Structure 1
Amino acid sequence: MGGSEFIIYIYISKRRTKKLWKKLDVDSNQVHE
Structure 2
Amino acid sequence: MTILEALSVVNHRPLVLAGLAAVDYVALAILSEGRS
TM-score (norm 1): 0.73
Uncovered stretches (5+) of structure 1, i.e. residues with no partner: none
RMSD of Structure 2 on Structure 1 (CA):
1.7
Instruction: State percent identity of aligned pairs.
Output: 0
Structure number with greater CO (CA < 8 Å, separation at least 6) is 2
Q: Where do 5+ consecutive residues of structure 2 fail to align?
A: none
